[in-house]
A and B are shown apart, each in its own frame.
Chain A
Amino acid sequence: MAGGLTYTALDSTELSTAEIYGQTLVELGKEHPEIVGLTADLAGSTKIGVFGKAYPDRFFNVGIAEQNMFGVAAGMAKAGLVPFLSTFSVFASLRSADQLHTDICYQNVNAKIIATHSGTSFGQAGSTHHAICDLAVVRSMPNVTLICPADGVETAEAVVAAYENKGPYYIRINRGFDRVLYGKDYPREYKFEVGKAVEVNPGTDITVIACGSCVFQAYQAAKFLENADGLKVRVLDMHTIKPIDKEAILKAVQDTRRIITVEDHNVIGGLGSAVAEVMAEAGKGCAFTRLGIQDTFAPIGLHEDIMSNLGIDCNGIINAIREAMNKDFEEDDNWDDEV
């Protein structure tokens, strides 16, 4: 990692995901004077404000003006700076979509959008503040790398990767604390690489492909079902939505023939769609379920309650796995006899 940054379980239990982002950016900023920070009156909420406190001459709060912020960032990047922009995901992807599309992605500038309060993580604020379309919107813009980290540790990794790699990055992270996945209790070696899914749990019966806070929930579901039903559930942390890890998806299809995707986002256009596209283009049919927001506006409430309501928490994933296991689906390796 750049500058020898390391993050531990301690960090991710004491700090919210966004706070880890802020701290990571401050540390990157120490060694890289070309990094600048921008926000649109959300310095405190998105935690980019700590960068502003550390480097006031390299921090610009443009007020509640997201379109301007994205254009300014494009100009800064064109002039050799590496701007990190933070606002809520719903605004980053929609309010300034034209500037993101044209100024950032079309010009292919080296700007990094760290969009917070993603999915339904700002649950009580209601649908005006839920980001249920951002993966779909941003994924369809050329040149951008799109990442949805599972927890604070992965957020730090993603932020560093965004700095280390040229081009537009859009990283969506949650408001508040995420359940720690890659903490001290995580039993496997963890390595983050852009575009490479992490196999969080090995399995051969079914694969759950998840992103963001749903990865932890999927992991809990897998552990439960191993004990309760004797199922071996593969869980993939598909942190990079674009470019998506086709190899991991097709290997999962080949190995398990049952796929469930889980995301805190509309099932249209996000992770589930991206996985479906890979499978369909490969000509590999299998039992397939997309968990997420079922093309509706989510209710108001605590994030965990909304996740439960949407069926994208541990219990919802368990139910979906059991249902998928009961689906009649050809399990042999011979694809030739299928249409």
Chain B
Amino acid sequence: MPLSKSEWLALEKKAHELRNLCLDTTYWAGSAHIGGDMSVMDMMTVLYHKYLNIKVDDPNWEDRDRFILSKGHAGVAYAAVLVDKGFNDPEQLKTFNLSNSKMGIHLDSNKVVGVDASTGSLGHGLSIALGTALAARVLGKDYKTYCILGDGECDEGSNWEAAMSIAHFKATNVISFVDRNKCMIDGRTEDVMNLEPFVDKWKAFGFIVKEVDGHNLSELCDAIDFALNQNEAPVMIVANTIKGAGIDFMADDYHWHYGAIDEGKYQQAKESLEKYYKQRVARAEKEGV
């Protein structure tokens, strides 16, 4: 079912709030992986505010949907989402990265409520997602596992071990995304290590691939709805995104993989996010049904 205009607008509002909270946290923390936080935020918004079957008052509910952030360096985005959802004390965001904080760059599943896996070492998440998915099969549960990878992360061979086995075991209860922002620490993905033909690679490993604009909430929801209805092969949603999306001086610049924000940049980024939100609302108004 296509995203209704009202739902689209509500999700846009939430995504905007979360982008701001993510920026605020980066400012409080001094620095963060802000570029990749911004590119992944729309995916996380639709998952946490439309799809994930979770209970804030029972975070370890055994029938809950799982979410594995394989690109664990987007911890500020993840923390913002979980705090906003009500899993953790908002004050924790103000101590992000500080000594003895529960929250650091890569979130610890034993310290931060709502985190399903401690990630950060790249190329781990998809295997863990397969593990929770196979556990659902063994235990006779129908929860889903959602997993988001970074594109640079796909250089790690372990992802392809996981990909092969997800297809082999027909683990269609894993719904995977790649945040294809085309940037990594040392440069653009295609300059550091060529990933293309990227979609074909996933297809060759047995996935049905949906390629979408990762900043179009309607397209993202359509792709997830599609994935939820596949029983023969797992779905990989390749979400084409922009590193630093919404912040003009960061957008599509790999130097903002990780960066510090001072007062001036913070204000500039805030203004940029407002403009970006207006454009996004205009699109939802125009294209929503």
Contact = CB atoms under 8 A, between A and B. Distances in A.
Nearest to B123: A67
B165 A72 contact: yes
A62 B120 CA distance: 23
A103 B116 contact: no
Interface in A91-114: 98-99, 102-103, 106-108
Interface residues of A, number: 31
Contacts of A106: 108, 118
9 contacts: A68-B161, A74-B127, A75-B132, A76-B135, A78-B128, A81-B135, A103-B124, A103-B127, A107-B109
A76 B134 contact: yes
Given A65-B161, A75-B135, A76-B132, A98 B121 contact: yes
A98 B131 CA distance: 17
Interface in B101-137: 108-110, 116-118, 120-121, 123-136
Interface of A: 34, 36, 57-58, 60, 62-63, 65, 67-81, 83, 98-99, 102-103, 106-108
Given A63-B165, A67-B123, A74-B128, A79 B136 contact: yes
Interface in B122-161: 123-136, 138-139, 145, 157-158, 161
A59 to B, nearest CB: 10
Nearest to A75: B131
Given A75-B129, A79-B66, A107-B118, 16 more contacts: A34-B139, A60-B169, A62-B161, A65-B158, A68-B161, A68-B162, A71-B128, A71-B162, A75-B68, A75-B135, A76-B131, A77-B131, A78-B117, A79-B135, A80-B139, A107-B110
Contacts of B108: 106
Interface range on chain B (Cβ under 8 Å from partner): 35 or more
B182 to A, nearest CB: 25
B125 to A, nearest CB: 8
B127 to A, nearest CB: 3
Contacts of A67: 123, 127, 157-158, 161
Contacts of A68: 127, 130, 158, 161-162, 164-165
Contacts of A98: 121, 124
B62 interface: yes
Contact of A72 (B118, B128, B139): B128
Contacts of A78: 109, 116-117, 128, 131-132, 135
Given A74-B117, A78-B117, A79-B66, A99 B135 contact: no
